[in-house]
Amino acid sequence: MSEMDSNLILKPITKLLDEKFFIPSYQRGYRWKERQVKNLLDDIWSFRLNSETETKDAFYCLQPVVVSKMDNEWEVLDGQQRLTTIYIILEYLKGGLEFLGKGNFSIRYETRSDSELFLKNIDLTRSEDNIDYFHICNAYETVAKWFDGKDGNTKINFLNTLLNDDESGKNVKVIWYDVSEENVSNKFAIDIFTRLNIGKIPLTNAELVKALFLQNGNFQEDKASLKQLQIATEWDAIEKVLQNDAFWYFIYNPDNPLKYDNRIEYIFDLMKNKTKDNERYFTFYEFNKDFIISKKDKDALADIDTLWSKIKKYFLSFEEWYNDKELYHLVGFLIDCGYDINKLKLESSNRTKLSFKAYLKDKIKGEVSCQIEELGYKDKRVKKVLLLFNIQTILSSEKTDARFPFFRYKEEDWDIEHVRSQTDKQIVGSARKDWAIDILEYFTGERGYSDAILNGNGFTEKELQEKAISKLDEVEKFFSKDLASLLDSESMDESQFTQLYNSLIKHFNEAEAPENIDSISNLALLDSATNRSYKNAMFPIKRKTILENDMNGVFVPIATKNVFLKSYTKKLGNVMHWSKNDANDYLETIKRTLKDYLPLQTEKNER
């Protein structure tokens, strides 16, 4: 098939010179500013200077131009600003263009017909006539200023770079996306334009790469439909797996600056080592190079089977890890720690599965290499140790198929917080009300005291509150009445709150602080909803919330649940109080569970 038969190609600028473009009325006029024009000139010239050592096939690629054929013109759905800027540059270099025996392409405007004539004869004295002329003149002056002071060779070399075809050498291309087959009505064209310009850009790297694979020109005519169907079906199957959050957050961290609607694009970016510093269509350009090389090697069609097989094989490596319970947890932990998944994949390809697992465990040791008794609240390693403790708790049980849900851990706001409250931290402002509500709801077993509204039975929340308080024992009734009184007042009296707060600390046995409240023996993974902004909920309040969440199907890390159930305590005492013995037994359990990863205790003394 010829180049023009394809709906998506990389088209050299020189191939546009004989074309006629039409800008429909629903688009605004030319609006590029000096900075944007200068950036384009700088980029093309930088490519020219830096491409001396590159292959003949090197090219500078502009972003997409989306077009639809109408009679003898191309309706421009997206890319008007880039096209017009290229036109203006060529108009400035018109002498060289004529010397080469070439003419410029044309741009016609549905509602601004005079702009077409003005572009052909740019008159700087008329820049104030209208807003379109102003921006066109400003762009032309920017081009002139950029070339000012440069010798004639610069203009010749720039023009050659801009207009070389593929046979002549390094050149400039656009991503040419022809939607003529789909565009059966003007309504469709407007819809595409709207999607392009409200941020929902359909031309992602994934869709551009997909178009590369599914072009008719890649296949022999008798095999095109069948092969296209196969790739499209397998593509959708991969995307479906990646849309499963349990799989996705196993290999992807939400803090990644690159975000994905089409998640298969993440696989493509990994394959091409894209970073946040690369330009938007970097991955597409890199895949297109693969197609060019493949076609040259075969001297005909691209080797689609080989190119597509590489993608499938790459993805299947991650699926194999996911399906292996131990690999899932080891890899998942390292990914959460920020490890480069590509480096892990490279190690995997060079090792047996057993050797790869040993490698992963060795890397995990490096992440938690510490004497954990010395870890404090502000140490970044605490969260890693607690996460690994949860993971290893699951892996240590051979009788369960349970998996640590990385997707819930990452999507929800889980971080390290204190098991026993920080009673030395003052509660101020609106946090006092939250604190009082928590305690009152704990005593009464009723919720909703933050509002005084009529319920379905005709009782007010206040009446229900008073009814619930009346059923309590004398101590709880005493505290509940004081709490209700505080909540009823327009502003909490500071001395009254402080007195009640100190009394409740004693009641819940939280007055006697542990030796080191910031030690890992008093820390667990808690979600932000349980550990509210005042960071000072007492142990029984946190315990009640944790157990209710677990009972209602809310995700609670297994080790966190065990802490509040006191499962690690050797001699169970008051279940509503976190004691020094509880903390020590918890610490010993962590050390025992992670013994294969933590340094030997004797190593501390040897150092």
CA atoms within 13 A on the CB side of 325: 13
The total of other beta-carbon atoms located within 10 Å of residue 105's CB is 17
Distance CA 550, CA 559 (A): 12
pLDDT of residue 4: 32
Helices (H), 215-244: 224-242
- Percentage of the chain exceeding pLDDT 90: 41
Distance CA 118, CA 135 (A): 12
Largest interatomic CA distance in the chain: 102
* Residue 564 near residue 543 (C-beta atoms within 8 A): yes
Instruction: Report the range out of 253-262, 352-361, 405-414, 457-466 with the highest average pLDDT.
Output: 352-361
Domain borders along the chain are: 3-202, 245-323, 372-422+514-602, 431-507
**Has residue 453 got a pLDDT over 80?**
no
pLDDT of residue 198: 43
pLDDT of residue 607: 37
Among 501, 496, 475, 498, which residue's Cα sits nearest to residue 486? 496
CA distances from 225 to 155, 221, 222, 232 (A): 47, 8, 8, 10
Token pair belonging to 570: 């050797």
The total of other beta-carbon atoms located within 10 Å of residue 309's CB is 11
pLDDT of residue 559: 94
Tell me how far apart the terminal alpha carbons of the chain are, to the nearest angstrom: 72
Helices (H), 243-299: 245-251, 264-271, 282-298
Band of pLDDT at residue 56, cut at 50, 70 and 90: low
Cα Rg of the chain, angstroms: 33
Helix 264-271, helix 205-214: angle, nearest 10: 80
Q: What are the counts of helices (DSSP H) followed by strands (DSSP E) for the chain? A: 26, 8
Among 308, 371, 298, which residue's Cα sits nearest to residue 520? 371
Band of pLDDT at residue 482, cut at 50, 70 and 90: confident
**Has residue 329 got a pLDDT over 80?**
yes
* Residue 313 near residue 235 (C-beta atoms within 8 A): no
Compute the average pLDDT of residues 80-94: 94
The total of other beta-carbon atoms located within 10 Å of residue 448's CB is 13
* Residue 593 near residue 392 (C-beta atoms within 8 A): yes
Token pair belonging to 190: 């407007």
Band of pLDDT at residue 503, cut at 50, 70 and 90: confident
Q: H or E element: which one contains 172? A: strand 171-178
pLDDT of residue 449: 53
* Residue 562 near residue 568 (C-beta atoms within 8 A): yes
Per-residue pLDDT of 552-607, as tens digits, reads 888 889 999 999 999 999 987 777 788 888 899 999 999 999 999 998 754 444 43
Compute the average pLDDT of residues 388-396: 95
Distance CA 487, CA 101 (A): 86
Per-residue pLDDT of 342-391, as tens digits, reads 999 999 999 999 999 999 999 999 999 888 888 888 898 999 999 999 99
**Has residue 155 got a pLDDT over 80?**
yes
The total of other beta-carbon atoms located within 10 Å of residue 597's CB is 18
The total of other beta-carbon atoms located within 10 Å of residue 144's CB is 11
Per-residue pLDDT of 158-208, as tens digits, reads 999 999 987 888 889 888 888 776 654 555 555 555 544 544 445 678 888
Band of pLDDT at residue 5, cut at 50, 70 and 90: very low
CB neighbour class for 242 (10 Å; exposed up to 12, middle 13-18, buried from 19): buried
Per-residue pLDDT of 57-80, as tens digits, reads 577 888 788 898 888 999 998 889
**Has residue 493 got a pLDDT over 70?**
yes
Give the DSSP per-residue string, 576-589. Answer: T---HHHHHHHHHH
What percent of the residues of the chain are helix, what percent strand, and what percent coil, each to the nearest 5? Answer: 55, 10, 35
- Mean pLDDT of the chain, nearest integer: 83
Pairing of strands 73-78, 20-23: parallel
* Residue 518 near residue 422 (C-beta atoms within 8 A): no
Token pair belonging to 349: 């390809």
The total of other beta-carbon atoms located within 10 Å of residue 329's CB is 23
pLDDT of residue 458: 47
Instruction: Report the range out of 10-19, 287-296, 395-404 with the highest average pLDDT.
Output: 10-19
Distance CA 546, CA 544 (A): 6
Among 539, 538, 523, which residue's Cα sits nearest to residue 573? 539
Token pair belonging to 514: 């542990």
Give the DSSP per-residue string, 372-437. Answer: GGG-BTT-THHHHHHHHHHHHHHHT-TT------HHHHHHTTEEEEESS--TTSPP-TTHHHHHHH
Distance CA 31, CA 169 (A): 32
| Higher per-residue pLDDT: 482 or 157 | 157
Residue 452 CB contacts under 8 Å (≥ 6 apart), including other chains: 460, 461, 462
Compute the average pLDDT of residues 532-558: 80
**Has residue 86 got a pLDDT over 50?**
yes
The total of other beta-carbon atoms located within 10 Å of residue 451's CB is 9
Per-residue pLDDT of 262-302, as tens digits, reads 899 999 999 999 998 888 888 988 888 888 777 666 555 66
pLDDT of residue 52: 58
Distance CA 271, CA 159 (A): 34
* Residue 365 near residue 595 (C-beta atoms within 8 A): no
